[in-house]
Amino acid sequence: MEWDWNFVWEIMPTLIEGLKITLIATLFGAAVAAVVGLVFAILRMTAPRPIARAVGFTVEFIRGTPLLVQLYFIFFVLPDIGIRLPALLAGIIGLGVHYGTYAAEVYRSGIENVPRGQWEAAKATNLSARQTWIHVILPQAIPPMIPALANYLIAMFKETPLLSAITVLELMNQAKSVANSSYRYIEPMTLVGVFFLVMSLISVVFLRWLEERYARVEEH
Amino acid sequence: MTDWSGYIGLILQGALVTVQLTLMGSALAVVVAFAAGLGRVSRYMAVRAAATAYIEFFRGTSIFVQLFWVYFVLPFAGLTLSPLQAGVLALGLNVGAYGAEVVRGAVRAIGREQREACIALNLTRAQAMRHVILPQALPLMLPTFGNNAIELLKATAIVSLISLSDMTFQAQVVRAQTGSTLIPFATILVLYFLMALAISGAMRWLERRVTRGLDGVRT
């Protein structure tokens, strides 16, 4: 079977449609992950012990099980208890919660790297817990985390094809449906691979830049 | 009431396939990781370039795409693989690329003075690698290898989509036959978690094993 450029141009619009959904899922998934991760990290560090341990176990459990099964769980099991989510929303929540547990670890190490003196100074100046977090700890903790978080963003982008398993029409699913209706697998599958490769090569450059920009913050 | 014992048996059969895939995939990944990781620190430009290209390619495209490519596109090139072979190949090559970076990092992390001592003792490059560098680099790699093995375990769920009857696939079968969703999916989530725990336990044991006799060598 030969590579056919005409066919490539013919299927390109469909694939671009899919790429849009892939990007939407990645962006919203990242937003959910950023928030969920922060909640997990703060609960694990400040909540009373039983709650902190329960959260810790939940994080370990989510990290130890496949995203695909978690997506099935959200998409197939939750409707039984009356929560019926559209496929894309279910996918975004799945991605967000799964990568939220990874982000939680990044946040935790970032927060633990803020020197003790900062906490003590905040206490000495009579800041409330809320003020301490928002004005003292998080502004210092977040910049060094950015490269690690961006790394997980790229990892998440590469996991979005899993959403095709719960019927989201993202890039991979569009390619599959094109392939199934035309019986040509080489072009769609290869193009999906090329799309991902190009996107991640670009993001590697972006990541290097982020590392240079933010990794130096500690050394002032 | 449904007879659950039969369905549990089905899921356990799937669990066996998952374990098999994880073990075979990890074995391939370790081999590939060392080959590519040492390739990246080779003194030959061509070897370095080939290793870098392999690593960037497999880390840059998603495991999902690679698996589908192996399973659906390679047959057109005359190479037809069974789902199990395709799964092991894709998982091994993908996780191997991540492992290669770990190998490279660990080899790089061994101090300069060790290399210089090898030169002073007139060891060949192969001898230096085999007897001096790798024994010290191995303990540095193991924790990350453990994480990679868990990532591989989680990635095996994807092979259910190319009709290999692993644990996730069997859970879907049970779902289709009984209409119950909670029990099959909750069961396999717990089983996956137990397998991940087993992997991290095994890696901790292995870590103690390989660091034995190295106390005091590294600070």
In the predicted model, is pLDDT for residue A67 greater than 50? Answer: yes
Q: In which band, very low, low, confident or very high, does the pLDDT at A142 lie, cut at 50, 70 and 90?
A: confident
> How many other CB atoms are there within 10 angstroms of residue B95's CB atom?
26
Q: Residue A192: its chain B contacts at CB < 8 A?
A: 65, 68
Nearest residue of A to residue B156, measured between CA atoms: A66
Of B57, B62, B168, the CB nearest to A68: B168
Q: In which band, very low, low, confident or very high, does the pLDDT at B217 lie, cut at 50, 70 and 90?
A: low
Q: Is the CATH code 2.40.40.20 the one for domain B19-211? A: no
Q: What pLDDT score does B157 carry?
A: 92
Rounded percentage of chain B residues whose pLDDT exceeds 70: 95
Q: What is the mean pLDDT of chain B?
A: 89
Rounded percentage of chain A residues whose pLDDT exceeds 70: 97
pLDDT in tens, B71-94: 888 888 888 888 899 999 999 999
Q: Measured at the alpha carbon of residue A50, what is the angle toward residues A48 and A43, in degrees to the nearest 5? A: 50
Q: Residue A61: its chain B contacts at CB < 8 A?
A: 189, 193
> How many other CB atoms are there within 10 angstroms of residue B131's CB atom?
11
Q: What pLDDT score does A7 carry?
A: 86
Average pLDDT over residues B50-69: 89
Q: Cα(A162)–Cα(B67) distance, rounded to whole angstroms?
A: 12
Q: How many residues does chain B have?
A: 219
In the predicted model, is pLDDT for residue B204 greater than 50? Answer: yes
Q: Which CATH superfamily is domain A5-219 in?
A: MetI-like (1.10.3720.10)
Check CB contact of B57 with chain A, cutoff 8 Å: yes
Check CB contact of B59 with chain A, cutoff 8 Å: yes
Q: What pLDDT score does A133 carry?
A: 87
Q: Residue B182: its chain A contacts at CB < 8 A?
A: 77, 80
Q: How far is B96 from chain A (nearest CA, A)?
A: 16
- Cβ–Cβ gap A66/B168 under 8 Å: yes
Q: How far is A138 from chain B (nearest CA, A)?
A: 28
Secondary structure of residue A1 in the 3-state scheme: coil
Q: How far is B52 from chain A (nearest CA, A)?
A: 13
Check CB contact of B172 with chain A, cutoff 8 Å: yes
Q: In which band, very low, low, confident or very high, does the pLDDT at A117 lie, cut at 50, 70 and 90?
A: very high
Q: What pLDDT score does A144 carry?
A: 84
pLDDT in tens, B29-38: 999 999 999 9
pLDDT in tens, B115-151: 899 999 999 988 999 999 998 898 889 889 999 999 9
Q: How many residues does chain A have?
A: 220
pLDDT in tens, B179-193: 888 888 999 999 999
DSSP letter for A77, please. Answer: I
Q: In which band, very low, low, confident or very high, does the pLDDT at A216 lie, cut at 50, 70 and 90?
A: low
Q: What pLDDT score does A193 carry?
A: 86
Q: Residue B193: its chain A contacts at CB < 8 A?
A: 61, 64-65
Q: In which band, very low, low, confident or very high, does the pLDDT at A72 lie, cut at 50, 70 and 90?
A: very high
Q: What pLDDT score does A215 carry?
A: 65
Q: What pLDDT score does A122 carry?
A: 92
Q: What pLDDT score does A219 carry?
A: 46
Q: In which band, very low, low, confident or very high, does the pLDDT at B215 lie, cut at 50, 70 and 90?
A: low
Q: Could you tell me which of A107, A155, A139 has the C-alpha nearest to residue A217?
A: A139
pLDDT in tens, A30-42: 999 999 998 999 8
- Cβ–Cβ gap A69/B185 under 8 Å: yes
- Cβ–Cβ gap A64/B197 under 8 Å: yes
Q: What pLDDT score does B31 carry?
A: 96
Q: Measured at the alpha carbon of residue B14, what is the angle toward residues B8 and B19, in degrees to the nearest 5? A: 125
B175 alpha-carbon distance from chain centroid: 29
Binding-site residues on chain A for chain B (CB distance < 8 A): 1, 61, 63-70, 72-73, 76-77, 80, 158-162, 165, 172, 176, 179, 185-186, 189-190, 192-193, 196-197, 200-201, 204
> How many other CB atoms are there within 10 angstroms of residue B59's CB atom?
20
Q: In degrees rounded to 5, what are phi and psi of residue B168?
A: -65, -40
- Cβ–Cβ gap B65/A61 under 8 Å: no
Of B69, B150, B153, the CB nearest to A189: B69
Q: What pLDDT score does A1 carry?
A: 63
Probe site for chain A from B54, B154, B172, B183 (most A CB atoms < 10 A): B154
In the predicted model, is pLDDT for residue A2 greater than 60? Answer: yes
Of A69, A161, A204, the CB nearest to B188: A69
Q: Measured at the alpha carbon of residue A152, what is the angle toward residues A151 and A154, in degrees to the nearest 5? A: 70
Check CB contact of B157 with chain A, cutoff 8 Å: yes
Q: Cα(B55)–Cα(B62) distance, rounded to whole angstroms?
A: 12
In the predicted model, is pLDDT for residue A12 greater than 80? Answer: yes
Region for residue B122 given its phi and psi (left: phi exceeds 0; alpha: psi -120 to 50; beta: otherwise): left
Beta-carbon pairs below 8 A across chains A and B? 104
Secondary structure of residue B81 in the 3-state scheme: coil
In the predicted model, is pLDDT for residue A173 greater than 90? Answer: no
Of B56, B62, B73, the CB nearest to A190: B73
DSSP letter for A114, please. Answer: S
Q: In which band, very low, low, confident or very high, does the pLDDT at A5 lie, cut at 50, 70 and 90?
A: confident
Q: What is the mean pLDDT of chain A?
A: 88
Q: What does the domain layout of chain A look like in residue ranges?
A: 5-219
Probe site for chain A from B17, B56, B58, B65 (most A CB atoms < 10 A): B65
A101 alpha-carbon distance from chain centroid: 10
- Cβ–Cβ gap A192/B156 under 8 Å: no
User: How does A140-153 read in b/e, with b if 16+ C-beta sit within 10 Å?
Assistant: bbbbbbbbbbbbbb
* Burial class of B191 by CB neighbour count within 10 A (0 to 12, 13 to 18, 19+): buried
Probe site for chain A from B73, B159, B187, B194 (most A CB atoms < 10 A): B73
- Cβ–Cβ gap A193/B63 under 8 Å: no
In the predicted model, is pLDDT for residue B219 greater than 50? Answer: no
- Cβ–Cβ gap A72/B160 under 8 Å: no
Q: What pLDDT score does B210 carry?
A: 83
Q: Identify which of A89-103, A186-200, B54-68 has the greatest average pLDDT.
A: A89-103
Average pLDDT over residues B9-20: 92
